[in-house]
A = this chain, B = another copy of it.
Amino acid sequence: MNYPNNIKKVKTANKVITYGNRGMGLESLINESCEYYNEVDRALIYKKPTPIGISEASYNSKGRVIKNGYFKAPSTLDYNGIYKNKYIEFEAKETSNKTSFPLSNFHEHQIKYIPRVLAHGGICFIIMKINNIIYLIKGSDFISFINNNERKSIPYDWIVKNGFVIKEGYNPALNYLDVVDEVYFEGE
């Protein structure tokens, strides 16, 4: 991974602390925000560890260690948890494209999974970064775009029209739950 020079990274045993948002990847912004929400007990939302396959393992003084492992393709979304009594699950994706968001960023299994979460009563959305703006796209809108279009990417116009802007800030770095409140809990 490459980090821009204006970000100071401190590696500790188990986690990486990053100071300042500028240039931070979308996923890091969200991870930090989840940690913040967790600390202030606003929500319990975690990034699921990437599923791995182990083809070789051994044992040392600390227990089982992986000697050969590979990453599996996820069939669900990256983040899930609980917020205001509701199940919540979402995916975070960014693109350097300017005019559209390529759907190749999503695994087919993930796309099929979204309507299922909705049918079971969960809150489900995508956090998309394009043209340096971060949008929340409702899962239902995302799926209806895919069902009604033969396109391989989502035009930027559509995102601007249907998305809800999530502003970057400080603590949390990305206050996406305020937008979730607006979109899913308004009037409660």
A residues contacting B by CB (< 8 A) are 14, 41, 43-44, 46, 48-53, 62-72, 76, 80-87, 89, 116-117, 119-122
Cβ–Cβ contact A43 & B83, under 8 A: no
Listed by A's residue number, 25 A-B pairs whose Cβ atoms lie within 8 Å are A43-B120, A44-B76, A48-B48, A48-B49, A49-B49, A49-B50, A49-B51, A49-B52, A52-B52, A64-B70, A65-B69, A65-B70, A66-B66, A66-B68, A66-B70, A67-B67, A69-B69, A80-B80, A80-B81, A82-B87, A82-B89, A83-B120, A85-B120, A85-B122, A86-B121
Q: How far is the CA of A66 from the CA of B52 in the complex (A)?
A: 9
Cβ–Cβ contact B46 & A82, under 8 A: no
A70 CB contacts on chain B under 8 angstroms: 62-66
Q: How far is the CA of A81 from the CA of B122 in the complex (A)?
A: 10
Cβ–Cβ contact A86 & B83, under 8 A: no
Cβ–Cβ contact B44 & A116, under 8 A: yes
Copies in the complex: 2
Q: With A64-B71, A69-B69 as known contacts, state yes or no: A116 contacts B85, CB within 8 Å.
A: no
CB distance from A78 to the nearest CB of B (A): 12
Q: How far is the CA of A122 from the CA of B43 in the complex (A)?
A: 11
